[in-house]
Structure 1
Amino acid sequence: MESETPIPEGWVSVPLNQLVSPSTEKVEPADDPDAFYIGLEHIEPNTTRIVGHGFARDTKSTKTRFISGSILYGKLRPYLNKVSIPDFDGVCSTDILVFPPSDAADTRYLMRFLSTSAVVDFATHQSSGMELPRTNYLKLGQLQIPIPPLAEQRRIVARLEALLADTDQVRGRLDAVEEAMQRFRQAVLGAACSGRLTEGWREEHIVLQETSWELSKLQDMGNWSTGGTPPRQIKSFFAGNIPWVKSGDLNDGVIADTEERISKEGLDNSNAKILGDYLISATFKY
């Protein structure tokens, strides 16, 4: 990817593969069961934030080891833009490229560049695989990175992170508004489904009412069942194009997309339902 914008004087353009190389150190979960585990689900899209972690003992397949300060770059579905730097040692999914700290460039500067929309577009177009698109280091390594002097890299990072901190404050306020809107929405739904929302109308049209409300249990209103995840150790089950809905994919009654997809074989080995069902998360947040 060649930059269309001329770089400032004193900067150089260097391919990524001359700056960093991915770690090749692998580990079996059983050999380090208490290690922190980072999967793609633990990296928030577009923000470079790590939003949790698991433990190696909860995983099955071979993982990649990383050290604190490494860049983690999600190569599966690169359009999700999952890039971050953990402040702890651990292991991660092999769908994440691990770039250890390098003297060739400031790590945080490099992470910020890898999360730009230009890099997301490049990695997405260089991906292979229709159902599970992935990029790889051979392709990503061709990226031309504009590199300023080290001191300027650090000034850029400091200025950028100060601006992003201001953005996070605004986001926090918007999240508070969103939370208030969610409470209002739930209050309106509760009023509607209890009859309070139309109480005045019923009082005015009482002579026209021919039926009364009934209180019913959910178990009497349909067939209810829990889902069943196909065995994750069988990779072919998770290599299809059928959307696999998890609780994290439910967003205020709307499912815009799913992080995972399963195959027909995987579907046949699950208790999943396909069309016309109501989905209710079995994990509740108080």
Structure 2
Amino acid sequence: MREDWIECKLNDVSSKITKGSTPTTYGYQFQKSGINFIKIENVKQGKIQTATINKFISSEAHESQKRSQLIPGDILFSIAGTIGETCLVKPENVPANTNQAFAIISGFNHILFPKFISLQLSSFVSKVVKSKARGGAMNNISLGDLKSLNIIIPPLPEQRAIIAKIETLFSDLDKGIADLKTAQEQLKIYRQAVLKKAFEGELTKKWREKQTDLPTADELLEQIKKERDNWLSKQISNGNSEAKRIKTKLEKLNEIKPFNKLPNKWCWTSFITSCLFVIDCHNKTAPYIDKGIYLVRTTNIKKW
């Protein structure tokens, strides 16, 4: 740590570290409009996402919970459930109140920028806090844990410079993410265009013109049909009921109508006539074990 930096407890530099409560505990009901009531799901990426707020309280309920009334410059730090979600309350977020899942940290006596503490809490300090988390179904930390956290304090000018540098880097990062999302969308469009041309024969047009001995699609289908018929006959003679169902489906299959014009020697057909068989999986899943045969589920399949 730098010589002109100091380390102290969070409680030593803030005048208030408290938490909110649930209005219904005191007989107040949530409303469709009114005073913003901030919950953990409303805080993302260091900001209160106002558009996601769907809980509101009355002015009376807000006044009854003075301890957790939020003002600009307050820091919210989640201490229950999702530990370590941090944000700085801004003027556009108030009037607002919150529940016991958030600690409210405020009053830094002009020796600290709240933004600097908020950024510090959201970085390495939150990892320390998570290591202190305890509880059963819902992890939590106490206000005492939070008060005893060690934080670093550079001189005010350096705090300002650190904040400015972080915000510049975050801005660059946000722009990079936005550019990446745009590129991903463009790649999706390009991918669809490539697939469309591939299955219209455009990508292999010149290659096909050089080939003289390619079998037609009809010839390939006839070859598949012979192999499938032989396989079905053997399976049916062995009492395979699934093979009987496949054969019945093939016998009832209607002729495929062309969707659009295809290259010479191509044809439209159905999935079931272009392969050996198409079956569904069993609806009942076998018991799982740690090792053995792979069980492939839909969650294991990703777009290439």
What is the TM-score of this pair, normalised by structure 1? 0.57
From the CA coordinates, give the structure whose radius of gyration is larger: 2
Q: 1:102: Cα distance to partner?
A: 2.4
Q: 1:129: Cα distance to partner?
A: 1.0
User: What is residue 274 of structure 1 aligned with on the other side?
Assistant: none
User: Is 1:119 equivalent to 2:113 in the alignment?
Assistant: no
User: Is 1:85 equivalent to 2:88 in the alignment?
Assistant: yes
User: What is residue 13 of structure 2 aligned with on the other side?
Assistant: 19
User: Is 1:106 equivalent to 2:110 in the alignment?
Assistant: no
Deviation per CA, 1:148-200: give whole Å up to 9, x if none: 11222112111211111111111111222344456678x59x98xxxx69xx9
User: What is residue 54 of structure 1 aligned with on the other side?
Assistant: 53
Contact 1:56–1:91 (CA under 8 A) maintained in structure 2: no
Deviation per CA, 1:228-249: give whole Å up to 9, x if none: xxxxxxxxxxxxxxxxxxxxxx
Q: 1:31: Cα distance to partner?
A: 8.5
- Give 1:107's aligned amino acid: P
**Structure-2 change in CA distance of 1:158 and 1:101 (3 Å):** farther
**Structure-2 change in CA distance of 1:13 and 1:56 (3 Å):** same
**Structure-2 change in CA distance of 1:56 and 1:78 (3 Å):** closer
**Structure-2 change in CA distance of 1:115 and 1:30 (3 Å):** same
1:9 match: secondary structure: coil
- Give 2:144's aligned amino acid: L
Mapping of residues 1-286 of structure 1, within 5 Å: 7-20=1-14, 21-24=16-19, 28=23, 30=29, 34-44=34-44, 47-51=45-49, 52-57=51-56, 64-78=68-82, 81-87=84-90, 88-89=93-94, 90-103=96-109, 104-116=111-123, 118-180=124-186, 203=217, 205-207=220-222, 208=224, 211=250, 212=253
Which residues of structure 1 form unaligned runs of 5+? 1-6, 215-220, 222-252, 256-286
Question: How far apart are the structure 2 equivalents of 1:156 and 1:31?
Answer: 40
**Structure-2 change in CA distance of 1:160 and 1:56 (3 Å):** same
**Structure-2 change in CA distance of 1:202 and 1:16 (3 Å):** farther
- Give 1:73's aligned amino acid: F
Which residues of structure 2 form unaligned runs of 5+? 205-214, 229-249, 254-269, 272-279, 281-297
Question: How far apart are the structure 1 equivalents of 2:41 and 2:117?
Answer: 22
1:66 match: secondary structure: coil
Q: 1:143: Cα distance to partner?
A: 1.3
Question: How far apart are the structure 1 equivalents of 2:189 and 2:41?
Answer: 27
Question: How far apart are the structure 2 equivalents of 1:42 and 1:254?
Answer: 28
Q: Which of 101-110 and 9-18 deviates more?
A: 101-110
Aligned length: 200
Structure with greater proportional helix content? 2
Question: How far apart are the structure 1 equivalents of 2:216 and 2:72?
Answer: 64
Q: Which of 95-104 and 124-133 deviates more?
A: 95-104
1:140 match: secondary structure: helix
Contact 1:77–1:133 (CA under 8 A) maintained in structure 2: yes
Contact 2:48–2:89 (CA under 8 A) maintained in structure 1: yes
1:22 match: secondary structure: strand
Q: 1:254: Cα distance to partner?
A: 5.3
1:91 match: secondary structure: strand
What is the TM-score of this pair, normalised by structure 2? 0.54
Contact 1:76–1:133 (CA under 8 A) maintained in structure 2: yes
**Structure-2 change in CA distance of 1:113 and 1:57 (3 Å):** closer
**Structure-2 change in CA distance of 1:48 and 1:254 (3 Å):** farther
Q: 1:109: Cα distance to partner?
A: 0.3
Deviation per CA, 1:198-234: give whole Å up to 9, x if none: xx999453333684559xxxxxx9xxxxxxxxxxxxx
Question: How far apart are the structure 2 equivalents of 1:58 and 1:254?
Answer: 40
Give the CA RMSD over aligned residues.
3.9
User: What is residue 262 of structure 1 aligned with on the other side?
Assistant: none
Deviation per CA, 1:24-47: give whole Å up to 9, x if none: 565735498511222111222xx3
- Give 2:39's aligned amino acid: G
